[in-house]
Amino acid sequence: MNFDWRKRHKMIAQAWILAICVFCLSAGLRAQLSTASVNGTVRDSSGAVVPGVSIVLQNLETGVIQRTVTNGQGNYVLLNVPPGRYQLEASKAGFVSQTRSNLILTVNQTTTYDFTLAVGSTRQSVTVQAAPVRVEFSTAELGTAVMRREVNNLPLNGRNFTQLLELTPG
């Protein structure tokens, strides 16, 4: 009888230890992100970094604005940016402000936009209208957004929408 009691308590203790381990290890797991992030470095025309530059990211569809300032190494980071079409502006007193328009950010994208500010008055401004297709070199993450047109044109067996999950990497 003592043998069964000890065996039972041992199994209960092992179950508790397993449950605690699973709970502690699962806290470190990350879910897939539904946002993007933007980072970069601001330099002057001589190549020196420029700290204290005001960075403004504006969603062109909703008008929502996110702001940050470059650190001592001239770097900036904007996190948790919803996917959409954006305009990014870098400005500081004594430099010509620079704007990049029509930036498309998608789900789980981390992109880098560096600026080179020329010395000038605060009333001068440079606007970059078209940006070339960028190669992602900040991270090795993969992500994609399946657009409505692509979904409508896909031949799904029985129109099972869960088959669309197989189209995205990761």
Under the banding of pLDDT at 50, 70 and 90, the label for residue 130 is low
Same domain, 26 and 40: no
pLDDT tens-digit map of 106-125: 888 889 999 999 887 645 66
Q: What is the DSSP string of 12-59?
A: HHHHHHHHHHHHHHHTT--PPPS-EEEEEEEEETTS-B-TT-EEEEEE
Under the banding of pLDDT at 50, 70 and 90, the label for residue 170 is low
Average pLDDT rounded to a whole number, residues 3-20: 77
The answer to whether residue 76 is domain-embedded is yes
The answer to whether residue 62 is domain-embedded is yes
Q: Which of 44, 170, 25, 49 is nearest to 116 (CA)?
A: 44
Same domain, 10 and 84: no
The answer to whether residue 147 is domain-embedded is no
Print the domain residue range for 15.
1-30
Same domain, 41 and 116: yes
Average pLDDT rounded to a whole number, residues 138-144: 64
Does the pLDDT value for residue 65 go beyond 70? yes
Average pLDDT rounded to a whole number, residues 64-83: 94
Same domain, 12 and 86: no
| pLDDT given for residue 91 in this prediction | 92
